[in-house]
Chain A
Amino acid sequence: MSRMPHTPPVPPENGREEPGFPFFRVYLLCTPERVPLLPGLPAFDPNRIRVIDPRSLTSDLFVDAVNAVVSGDPKPVPRWALYDCAETTGVVVGCLDHRGLPVSLLAATPTTVEGEWHTFTLRAHDPGLAIRTARLMVDLTRPRAVTAVSPYRGGSIDVFTMLGRVMLVTAYTPAHSEPMSATIRVHPGEERPTGGEVLTVDTRREEALRRLQDEIESGDRYDIAAGPGIDGLLSVEKTDAPSRGDA
């Protein structure tokens, strides 16, 4: 989570509850070509969502403010990467404070799997806002599945477990700059099937993650039953149940 001053939520002006967002105004940064391809957008009150075209000259100050949300990161996502790999290809979404400034951010881009979006750079000043921001992305894109990569330590796995069933794609990820990260696939609104063998994995131990990764590469499939807490213990459940999103 990024380091930002706390901004109190603003109560709704008209009492109307929007998809995933009762209190905050929100923003959507994407190209005009993307707008008609967002199935959830018509459900939003146009007075409460600010749609910005990143290619417009008038967007520069707002884009500055969006990039400021990640500027405090130790290794912030480069501005060109957000432009090339989200604003041009997919969306950047987030919440606005009472001044109309971005206070959270989630970038998302479609993948080669139909109906699947890959999300990256989730930033918010508290977990509640992070969950709202992730839900906002789901409400707008209505994906069959959402993917993300999250380091076990201080990551966002718990945020995604609030959205639905979370399957483990990788338990150990040497292709990433932080190998001790999970790649997850979230099936929004879907309940996790139960009844399989439950394992507890110490995510602070590289060897344990490697073993789990070997099993995944051998064909085993796991759902995340509970994200790693402060003790670093991840609870996963072996599953044979396909996801509705894979149907």
Chain B
Amino acid sequence: MPRAAATRDMNTLLEPFLVTRGDPAGRYDLEPFGLTVSPGLCYEATRSATGAVIDRLVKLDSLTFGPEGMPMPRWMFYELAAFPGAIFGFGLDAGVLPDASRERLGLGDGDRGLVPVSMYIAIPIMPRVWCGHNLASLKRVLPELGLRRLASRTKAFALRCLRCEQQIGATQWDSDALFVHAKFGVLELLSAWTPAHEFPATLTYRLDVTEAGLRHALGEGGPPTAPPADFEIDADDHAAMRTLQTRIEAGERFAITGKPRVGEGTRRIPIARID
């Protein structure tokens, strides 16, 4: 039976969920930006029933990252996500999804419940400092849903929910994710060329989480204050990344000051030297 949902604004139907260990009340902000994470959508990582939730998150991850060749093995969703840290995301009830979406998600007629369409995975480094290692969104995979700002929104709500004050992350210079991360503020570069990672053309950044940055990512207000860029790095210029890394190791400090500038076949990232 076809499901009539195309005329509804799916953005208004998104529901936040959280997968973590232990009672999240008190530790986390369960009303980030005034949106309640309902107790029924707070999943305890160690309970058997959470296995089904993980199955759907694995599907979300493979649809997002499979094509890039960096999908996350299933065991990591438990061991390096929900158990030591948290998975925050948004989902839609299976009943409101149009048939085309259900098919792409591999849902059968009998499948019910919340279907995650985005997630942010973070594990703690120390109190209030988190490493975000997965930001997934099905906005492009399910264009018929008309989801807006899904990745930015998910990361902003997650950082607020986790009461994160400083966030560390690693991403590739040519990744679209950089457009999202740069909305949150100045990204100090901890590494510019990272052979320890699967892809050496990876940068590691540190973000001081601010209200202005979170609001900007949600589409409210202008970008957070940033120093003017001193130069740009081409997203394909490995030699420039190595040089920058050498300067970082020599004690200089640099930061990404804004979103990549896209030209004809090029993508250039603005960099400032900082004190």
List A residues at the B interface (Cβ < 8 Å).
31, 37, 54-57, 59-60, 63, 75, 77-85, 87-90, 109-114, 118, 120, 147, 149, 169-170, 172-179, 183, 210, 213-214, 217
A120-B21 contact, Cβ under 8 Å, with A88-B131, A176-B74, A217-B47: no
Whether, in the assembled complex, B18 has its beta carbon less than 8 Å from a beta carbon of chain A, the answer is no
Residue pair B80, A80 in contact (C-beta under 8 Å): no
Residue pair B197, A83 in contact (C-beta under 8 Å): yes
A59 to B195, CA, bound (A): 8
Chain B residues in 8 Å Cβ range of A177:
73-75
Residue pair B78, A176 in contact (C-beta under 8 Å): yes
Measured as residues with beta carbon below 8 angstroms from the partner, the interface class of chain B is 35 or more
A84 to B82, CA, bound (A): 15
| Number of residue pairs A-B, CB distance < 8 angstroms | 140
Main SS of the interface on chain B? mixed
List B residues at the A interface (Cβ < 8 Å).
20-22, 27, 45-48, 50-54, 70, 72-80, 82-86, 123-127, 131, 133, 168, 170, 190-191, 193-199, 202, 204, 242, 245-246, 249
Q: Which of A87, A170, A213: most chain B Cβ within 10 A?
A: A170
Q: In whole Å, how far is B164's beta carbon from the nearest beta carbon of chain A?
A: 12
The 9 sampled A-B contact pairs (Cβ below 8 Å) are: A57-B195, A75-B73, A83-B197, A85-B131, A85-B133, A113-B22, A174-B51, A177-B75, A183-B83
Closest to A62 in B: B196
Residue pair B204, A175 in contact (C-beta under 8 Å): no
Q: In whole Å, how far is B146's beta carbon from the nearest beta carbon of chain A?
A: 32
Chain A residues in 8 Å Cβ range of B51:
173-175, 179
The 10 tightest CB contacts between A and B, nearest first, are A174-B51, A60-B195, A111-B84, A80-B198, A177-B74, A54-B196, A177-B75, A55-B191, A84-B133, A118-B84
Residue pair B83, A147 in contact (C-beta under 8 Å): yes
Closest to A148 in B: B79
Q: Which of B47, B74, B194: most chain A Cβ within 10 A?
A: B194
Q: In whole Å, how far is A109's beta carbon from the nearest beta carbon of chain B?
A: 6
Residue pair B75, A176 in contact (C-beta under 8 Å): yes
Option from A37, A54, A85, A175 in Cβ contact (under 8 Å) with B50: A175
7 additional contacts, CB 8 Å, given A79-B198, A83-B194, A85-B80? A80-B202, A88-B204, A111-B85, A114-B127, A173-B51, A175-B78, A177-B74
Chain A residues in 8 Å Cβ range of B133:
84-85
Closest to B206 in A: A33
Option from A85, A169, A178 in Cβ contact (under 8 Å) with B46: A169
Q: In whole Å, how far is B19's beta carbon from the nearest beta carbon of chain A?
A: 9
A114 to B70, CA, bound (A): 31
